[in-house]
Structure 1
Amino acid sequence: MKVALLTDCYLPRLGGIEVQTHDLAAQLRSRGHEVEVFTATLGELGERHGFVEDVDGVAVHRMAIRLPWELPVNPFAPPEVRRRLRAGGFDVAHVHMGVVSPFATDMARVALGLGLPTAITWHCLMERSQPVFRALGHARRWGAQGAALSAVSGVAAASVQNVVGRGSDVRVFPNGIDTTAWRPPPRTPRDADAPIEVVAAMRFAARKRPLAVLEVAARARELAAAGSRSGSGTSPGMRLTLFGEGPERGRLERFAAQHAMADWVTMPGRVGRDQLRERYWDSDIYLTPARLEAFGIAALEARTAGLPVVARKDTGVGDFVVDGVNGLLGADDDALAHGLARLLTDPELLHRIADTNRTLAPEQDWPSVAALAEDEYRRAGAA
């Protein structure tokens, strides 16, 4: 079939929706489908105004206009996209929604207005925006028009379901991962007294809560040391590496300086997938305190790389991390600190979880996710 993927954000921007949409396009092509992308994101050299370029074998329609901060917004795009969808012989449209997605919202209207079978996936949690979405009524109307509605995790799907009501079935369409690429190689034995390597990776933006990484790690370090002094465990020490970049960096650096973290915390900036993967393979624990995590791609990558994951239990991470099996889940930051301290002081638990993750791949491998995409497209066509 011929698939149109419609998204505000796409490469060369880097983020969850951008990378996942790119990888989905590649997976669909590998299964014999023809795929084109429509986006409000500028190209690498500023391509816009409907310019079509080839990105890894996929035609990308750059429906962008020049705006301050290169915002992926174009209220003038619908007529031209409507023309291209009508003339392009597409069988299905797949719209990818974030918290604020003006382009994708317009594209859902365009596709459904053409009578094109349409799948719509939310990559966000609606919790704080539910009253707004209910008042606008977009999602409810889309469901009533026959769109196949989905979200990237169980908690995200529940938040969308609360908005659309009982009239439409909101299913889970997860993000995907190349489990073969992230599968860890045999581990080189480490000295028994070597510090435990804790790693985190995220955008340094307030909603991702990077400061909480430092706070949770510092508290866990104190708890582990106290447990060691009381004779209730051993504390080999820990090192924390926080990968990422963004507007919160200055705040993080000031916090680390004020709390004398320089000897055990490093923040080397943002790195590519390959470098991050190799660092995961050489680390011991992954930490993420994000509260508004619809899925948690970085956590899935870490879990696939063999790391026990310490995360909030009320997020999308719970779709691939079972508490006590693939990591430790907590209700708040204090629970995360105690969970991390537990892994620091209980080598048997740490090794058992790590062995599980290194042996058993998660269910969100790309072939399975691509097959689910085809199911969603058939569901949209049937509706």
Structure 2
Amino acid sequence: MKTLRVLHSLNELRPSGAEVMLRSAAAQWKEHGVEADVLAVAPDIGPFATDLRAAGYHVAHEENAPWWLVPFRFRRRVRAGRYDVVHLHDETLNFWLALAAYSAGARVVSTVHNVFPLGGKARAKRVVQRAILRVMGTVHVAVSEDVANNERRRFRNPARVVDNWYDPAFAPPTPEERARARAALGLGEHDVVAVSVGNCSTVKRHDAVLAAMAHRACPPELVYLHLGQEDEAREEHRLAVRLGLADRVRFLGARHPLEALHAADVYAMPSTHEGMSIAAVEALATGLPAVFADAPGLRCLAEASPAAVLTDVAPAALARALARAAARPAAERGQQAAAPVQRRFGMARGVAEHVEIYRRLLKPGRNSEAHRTT
């Protein structure tokens, strides 16, 4: 079996979906005969570069300015690296980098990681660009059914669905692991613990969790563990103080989430939209009940797990949903709740599907693959 050389091109490397999946899958690529490298096309390489190098990837950095020179430098890099496939993970310069990859003799896979709500000229431009790339043989991959539906409806782009995967280290805790996690985080025996994982942004809508905690329908013993990088102004921290919640909210920063997930009683994600949240999949894989906003990218995820519910994010509705989910009996948590998620979002399945796409692209008649959907 011929060894394939694949270049994964991303923006600044941060601990988000694509980067986390690549880190966990490093050994899996090699088992399939794939040599995978990572390139950050951004002003800075990003803090997650160290993690990807530690996992075994060759990680490089390409400045993304001036933008009109980036495709030429990208073409030289692809040709020098003798890459068979370029896998694009970012919308920035996506079209131009794909053209550069083709001119260097590589094939192209482009993964759409989010439900992009574009309209007007931006939407028209994406429609044309995606159509041109499909004609050239590009396989567009969507990370969830919601993303695929958005691509088809908004951009007339029939993308193939390959669900995101998660690191199998995320598993239900034993009673001893749960007790250690809660002790390490200073949680009391009677604390009801909600957790969210994600950097602060308007899309993540963490302020909705804070507003729900201030509502009378929320259990007064509920403690909120907030994992993720805060914005420079620390707006969410200041909101917690204004709402009188300072002693019930723990801003833990960007850190590995497994300990907090093992300590928690419910996972909260009130985002306005998602592509396919790895953080949410990881939470479900630990057997946690989850409360999701009734929003694109979360609806299909809720369908995949009996432990997940959808809700309005108004304070009263979200407070009640968190209270009900946290009160689920132990029999509805743990391995029983995690099993469907483990089957659907397992890493071996996702890596194998990508490798199958790569190898099909290198066979005669490869352009027909661009129009496959699942």
TM class by shorter chain equals: 0.7 to 0.9
SS of 1:121's equivalent in the other structure is: strand
Give a deviation string over 1:178-214, Cα, whole Å, max 9, x none: 22x1112312588997121111121012222121221
Unmatched tracts of structure 1, length 5 or more: 48-52, 68-72, 226-235
Measure the CA separation in 2 of the matches of 1:174 and 1:359. Answer: 16
Q: CA deviation at 1:6?
A: 3.7
Give a deviation string over 1:86-141, Cα, whole Å, max 9, x none: 3433222211124xx12x33211212344532111011211235751323521121
Tell me which residue corresponds to 1:35: 36
Closer/same/farther in 2, CA of residues 135 and 286 from structure 1, 3 Å limit: same
Answer whether contact 1:2 1:89 (CA < 8 A) is retained. no
Answer whether contact 1:95 1:119 (CA < 8 A) is retained. yes
Measure the CA separation in 2 of the matches of 1:343 and 1:116. Answer: 48
Work out which of the residue numbers 101, 104, 129 in structure 2 matches 1:138.
Answer: 129
Is 1:2 equivalent to 2:1 in the alignment?
no
Closer/same/farther in 2, CA of residues 323 and 333 from structure 1, 3 Å limit: farther
Give the counterpart letter for 2:175 in structure 1.
R
Closer/same/farther in 2, CA of residues 82 and 336 from structure 1, 3 Å limit: same
Answer whether contact 1:289 1:333 (CA < 8 A) is retained. no
Closer/same/farther in 2, CA of residues 248 and 156 from structure 1, 3 Å limit: farther
Measure the CA separation in 1 of the matches of 2:71 and 2:4. Answer: 20
Work out which of the residue numbers 213, 216, 223 in structure 1 matches 2:217.
Answer: 223
Q: What is the TM-score with the length of structure 2 in the denominator?
A: 0.81
Q: CA deviation at 1:292?
A: 1.9
Instruction: Report sequence identity in percent.
Output: 24
Q: What is the TM-score with the length of structure 1 in the denominator?
A: 0.79
Answer whether contact 1:10 1:22 (CA < 8 A) is retained. no
Q: CA deviation at 1:22?
A: 4.1
Q: CA deviation at 1:160?
A: 1.4
Give a deviation string over 1:154-186, Cα, whole Å, max 9, x none: 111111122442xx531112222122x111231
Tell me which residue corresponds to 1:123: 113
Q: CA deviation at 1:58?
A: 2.4
**Greater Cα shift, 298-307 or 313-322:** 313-322
Aligned residues: 347
Closer/same/farther in 2, CA of residues 134 and 61 from structure 1, 3 Å limit: same
Tell me which residue corresponds to 1:267: 251
Q: CA deviation at 1:55?
A: 5.8
Answer whether contact 2:170 2:282 (CA < 8 A) is retained. yes
Tell me which residue corresponds to 1:246: 230
Tell me which residue corresponds to 1:314: 295
Closer/same/farther in 2, CA of residues 250 and 59 from structure 1, 3 Å limit: closer
Measure the CA separation in 1 of the matches of 2:55 and 2:150. Answer: 34
SS of 1:262's equivalent in the other structure is: coil
Tell me which residue corresponds to 1:199: 195
Closer/same/farther in 2, CA of residues 152 and 327 from structure 1, 3 Å limit: same
Q: CA deviation at 1:311?
A: 0.5
Larger relative contact order (C-alpha < 8 A, sep ≥ 6)?
A: 2
Tell me which residue corresponds to 1:78: 71
Measure the CA separation in 1 of the matches of 2:75 and 2:305. Answer: 50
Answer whether contact 2:53 2:59 (CA < 8 A) is retained. yes
SS of 1:97's equivalent in the other structure is: coil
Closer/same/farther in 2, CA of residues 202 and 43 from structure 1, 3 Å limit: closer
Tell me which residue corresponds to 2:147: 156
Please give the root-mean-square deviation of Cα atoms over the aligned residues, in Å.
Answer: 3.1
SS of 2:6's equivalent in the other structure is: strand
Answer whether contact 1:326 1:354 (CA < 8 A) is retained. no
Tell me which residue corresponds to 2:371: none
Work out which of the residue numbers 166, 170, 189 in structure 2 matches 1:177.
Answer: 166
Answer whether contact 2:8 2:38 (CA < 8 A) is retained. yes
Is 1:368 equivalent to 2:354 in the alignment?
no
**Greater Cα shift, 306-315 or 36-45:** 36-45
SS of 2:217's equivalent in the other structure is: helix
Give a deviation string over 1:14-58, Cα, whole Å, max 9, x none: 33333334444553124221122232244479x9xxxxx966432
